[in-house]
Structure 1
């Protein structure tokens, strides 16, 4: 707005502006140059020039940082303002009135900026959170690298993984006496007992699960087939009872069978000198086949986990066979 009054000369005065107005007051003006000619009653004139400066538009950029762990409230949002006329005031949708707000949960946060002239600008910040980091599965099995010991294989999902996955460690049952964080998801060389298995992601979020390794009792490594005399052995026409060579180390070596005796499972370990097809067969003492599994073995150490939970209590023969030989060990199922 521009307002002028006449001085000296003889009133009344008349006003003529370059925008066509004839009033002493002009308003609702944009930035620019305005000229006025004032004439008194005697026809004397006076000219005046005014310049109105227009501020630049308010430029608002809203940035945010996401929540580190699922359900936490360490997110932030910040309003970055340029243009207009400072100072600025801030009003966020959660009631905060500072440039930066902290302690945020996942959600949407709006901010309105007001400059010294009352001009406003609004923006939005989106604070996200990762999915829940959790341990979805743990498998306990004998540790082939440490006879008589066990290992725990851990599967985790969610969170914010490192480029090469998660980090893993095990602690005692109370959560202390922990190992160092490792990249491998297999925790090895474990005795029977209760452990806390921990998984960490790139944001430092941690998932914990308690795993108990039960003592298998006496560990046996039979070195030969048990021969038993069975009276009145029934053989159906569809059954074939045969005896074959039990050892041929030139092709593979049946190294161990854990746990033995056992209840729910048996882990078979063998070494192969070539890539070959191996058949694992479980039979009872009458020669009846209970379970058969065919595996593509690789050169070096191999292993296979057998589910024995459906077998009745008793003595069974576990055999490993290729095209040239067969090797067997006795496995005892307990209650």
Structure 2
């Protein structure tokens, strides 16, 4: 009785049973075994106790073919998904078949799988089985990285973002909130931008990028105004926003590149550049502060009949002390002389045309015998300069004569210098100025601090303010004094190509006129020689080879140094 081979690779067997004859039975020793048989035909013989024999033949059929399982795996499209699937088909063995998955499923197709390895046992109708293993994979997580270039300067549109896809399945596409489909987008202003990246399987990830910009550059200023003519104030600019450090450029002459600039009267622009090249400009004005504490009186004020405490009374009460030798105006051989306050009352105010005086000396003229408005203005200013020593006239310790004309034809000249020009013209001397120009200047000076209650702004304080009492300044005529005794006029100033320097001294002295730049370096020696007292010297200054800027002119005598700012504007 054969037992056939049921499974591929298995063996069959034969069970022998004998009936009849006389037991016991003996089987031929050289017969094949009855178990572990492969396919084939087998013959067996048997002999009983009496020597009777018999034969039997049986066949072990061929084994079934091997069970073959073919699997088709659908991997997961997007990391973390559960759309994996395994489809199995079976051949070989003996149908029908059954399957049992590690998930417990008995279906030959299993779906909705996450990434992982799944096993199954396939069994045919004869109980033969084979094992199946299927690994469902997934791509790496689809993510992104970005490189952001922020806006350089506030308000610009030069930001950019470059996005890069990581993981997922190439190729990738991208769609920005701007509508761009490029992985690099440029020309962006400050703001937030998003993009959707899609891979070849339709998996998506988002990109979010925020473009920043520096705070807008802004300037604020702290200024100190100029307190004296041709002096310097300061302007300090403070920067907020942008990206430090900052560089500065003031449009001064020369250009200054510091946070705080030393500036003369005027309006200036400073341009500030930050570390990224962003710029902002601001405008600041440096003003000339009012010079206060002085008194000037007009012709009419001094010419008024004494009444109470008016200026006519002041003239009467103080003339002799201020002018013990009397008062005179003019020069050369042409003079007006006044011996008393009453004589001046009889002359002021004087009108008609400004002009030179008549030849000779006219003593105590009256308004009815002689009229000359320039002479009247000169007399009024001479009175104010003489009375300026008295604290009850003018409280300032700075001499009225040292104040500087702040604008117009005589800008840069002192009150005393303008009066000297007036006396030169009254005396018939040569001058680059007309009598009308000088008369206008004297009129404006006499009205500038009228009655000590106004300030028309025509006069500015000198930069070297005298702090000694005015009495000492006026009385001290000693040649060894460190106070400059004489007059210096430079015109025009600012200088384009040539200028004229006029000077005279009250004492004989060696004189040198030199020019220095603002760093104290000697630029030029304009004049060197001896000067006699009372003589007027005229020196030409050729500035054609000098750079535009501010310079210092120094006139050195044996005992003093006169200093003046000189502006070259070639």
1:48: Cα distance to partner?
A: 1.1
For 2:276 and 2:461, the matched residues in 1 are separated by 50
Highest RCO, 1 vs 2 (Cα 8 Å, sep ≥ 6):
1
Structure 1 counterpart of 2:358: none
3-state SS, counterpart of residue 406 of structure 2: coil
Gaps of 5+ in 2: 1-84, 312-390, 409-447, 474-570
3-state SS, counterpart of residue 90 of structure 2: coil
CA 1:152–1:97: 2 relative to 1, 3 Å = farther
Computed over aligned residues only, the root mean square deviation of the Cα atoms, in angstroms, reads 4.9
1:198 aligns with 2:271: yes
1:74: Cα distance to partner?
A: 0.7
1:196: Cα distance to partner?
A: 5.3
1:237-252 matched pairs, under 5 angstroms: 241=392, 246=397
Structure 2 counterpart of 1:169: 249
2:261 to 186, 211, 222: 186
For 2:125 and 2:235, the matched residues in 1 are separated by 103
3-state SS, counterpart of residue 126 of structure 2: coil
1:195: Cα distance to partner?
A: 6.4
Structure 2 counterpart of 1:62: 146
CA 1:143–1:12: 2 relative to 1, 3 Å = farther
CA 1:316–1:64: 2 relative to 1, 3 Å = closer
For 2:251 and 2:395, the matched residues in 1 are separated by 48
1:285-324 matched pairs, under 5 angstroms: 286=451, 311-312=455-456
Gaps of 5+ in 1: 248-255, 264-282, 291-310, 330-335
Structure 2 counterpart of 1:261: 406
1:153: Cα distance to partner?
A: 2.9
Higher share of residues assigned strand: 1
CA 1:18–1:78: 2 relative to 1, 3 Å = same
1:24: Cα distance to partner?
A: 1.5
For 1:313 and 1:171, the matched residues in 2 are separated by 26
* Kept after mapping to 1: 8 A contact 2:93/2:128: yes
For 2:203 and 2:254, the matched residues in 1 are separated by 58
2:204 to 110, 114, 120: 120
1:137: Cα distance to partner?
A: 5.5
CA 1:316–1:3: 2 relative to 1, 3 Å = closer
* Kept after mapping to 2: 8 A contact 1:245/1:326: no
For 1:94 and 1:179, the matched residues in 2 are separated by 46
CA 1:100–1:17: 2 relative to 1, 3 Å = same
* Kept after mapping to 2: 8 A contact 1:284/1:315: no
1:90 to 171, 174, 179: 174
Structure 2 counterpart of 1:16: 100
1:27 aligns with 2:102: no
Give the count of matched residue pairs. Answer: 255
3-state SS, counterpart of residue 56 of structure 1: coil
* Kept after mapping to 2: 8 A contact 1:284/1:316: no
For 1:153 and 1:56, the matched residues in 2 are separated by 63
Higher share of residues assigned helix: 2
For 1:109 and 1:19, the matched residues in 2 are separated by 45
3-state SS, counterpart of residue 112 of structure 2: coil
TM-score (norm: length of structure 1): 0.57
Could you report, residue by residue, the CA deviation over 1:225-257 in whole angstroms, capped at 9, with x for unpaired residues? 88868555459xxxx94877948xxxxxxxx97
CA 1:314–1:213: 2 relative to 1, 3 Å = closer
1:127: Cα distance to partner?
A: 0.8
For 2:210 and 2:156, the matched residues in 1 are separated by 15
2:230 to 140, 148, 157: 148
For 1:48 and 1:58, the matched residues in 2 are separated by 31
1:207: Cα distance to partner?
A: 2.2
TM-score (norm: length of structure 2): 0.36
Structure 1 counterpart of 2:542: none
For 2:227 and 2:396, the matched residues in 1 are separated by 29
For 2:169 and 2:277, the matched residues in 1 are separated by 43
For 1:25 and 1:178, the matched residues in 2 are separated by 90
Could you report, residue by residue, the CA deviation over 1:240-294 in whole angstroms, capped at 9, with x for unpaired residues? 94877948xxxxxxxx97x74369xxxxxxxxxxxxxxxxxxx956456x8xxxx
CA 1:23–1:234: 2 relative to 1, 3 Å = farther
* Kept after mapping to 2: 8 A contact 1:245/1:325: no
Greater Rg by CA: 2
For 1:13 and 1:52, the matched residues in 2 are separated by 24
* Kept after mapping to 2: 8 A contact 1:169/1:178: no
